[in-house]
Amino acid sequence: MKLLVTGGAGFIGSNFILYWLHTHKEDHIVNLDKLTYAGNLENLTDIQHDPRYTFIRGDIVSPVDVKQAMQGVDVVVHFAAESHVDRSILEAAPFVSTNVVGTHVLLEEAMKQKVKRFHHVSTDEVFGSLELGVDTKFNEQTAYDPHSPYSATKASSDHLVRAYYHTYGLPITITNCSNNYGPYQFPEKFIPLAITNLIEKKKVPLYGDGLNVRDWLYVEDHCRAIDVVLAKGRIGETYCIGGVTQDIDNRTVIHKILAYFGKTEAEIEYVKDRPGHDRRYAINWSKINKELGWKPAYDFDTWLQKTILWYQEHQSWWRRLKNGGKPQ
């Protein structure tokens, strides 16, 4: 089988490519990536000379680039997206271009190429925010209520993908995942920023009162979930993918990281909350569990420790990025 992975030099995309080539020995992957600030080919050094792997530098907004990359492809796994909420607040236009227009270009070419599956990777942020202290969780029937330019553009792309299924019969699946963490995550994100700042003996920034809740999903668990959806998921269906099963607020996450390094709360620097900051995310992933047999491999504490160790052991990778160096 031949797969096109969009955004395969990014955090989740590169982890997916490494996972897939390790577990699916006969398959070939084409990686289409624009190599923005968050795309880094160093993530894929281990397989850069693998004959089963092809890299194409290109933009999903370009019909020419997409046509070239999708030649002879059986399955499209669409990760490519502008994804940092803070950046979307500062400038929304790149998010509209990549997340909406780029997805449309891919869908059009997938129709022409008659791909066997178009899998769209989305986020739980399209559902908006939940209240603290309640048992409610997002599921596949939750109404969309995006609160940031980022989540609004992802919501739009979800609707486009579903429209191409209902209108044109394009064989699609969608996954809405919670916040990912793990190796190769760009160090501006919450968990790697905290880890790397502590290694650098810097303060750890924490928005507002630190009580915002996220449902943390280890990136390898996410890759396994997409694998099972591609293998057994029903065409036209959406599957929610989550990690932890109980609420963990951001301050508790920071305390866990501080405890690992033997540090105290004195290392936390509380900063002004960002506009429209969603209070709580939580995912009910019972559908993918009951229908496809997927569940996270380990608990949050186990995966968090593995993540901290990775950043300790790969300091040259993230130090250049934090110092303004451009990914290769």
User: Could you tell me where the beta strands, DSSP code E, fall in 43-93?
Assistant: 53-57, 75-78
Q: Cα-Cα-Cα-Cα dihedral of 84, 184, 61, 106, to 10°? A: -110
The residues with which 239 forms a beta bridge, in sequence order, are 175
Q: Which residues are catalytic?
A: 124-125, 150
- In terms of C-beta distances under 8 Å and separation of at least 24 residues, what long-range contacts does 229-235 make, across chains too? 229/119, 229/173, 229/175, 229/288, 229/292, 230/75, 230/77, 230/117, 230/119, 230/173, 232/291, 232/292, 233/173, 233/291, 233/292, 234/173, 234/291, 235/117, 235/165, 235/171, 235/172, 235/173
The DSSP secondary structure of 288-311, one letter per residue, reads HHHHH----SS-HHHHHHHHHHHH
If you compute the radius of gyration of the chain from its CA atoms, what whole number of angstroms results?
Answer: 19
Which DSSP category does 281 fall into? -
Main-chain dihedrals φ then ψ at residue 326, nearest 5 degrees: -90, 135
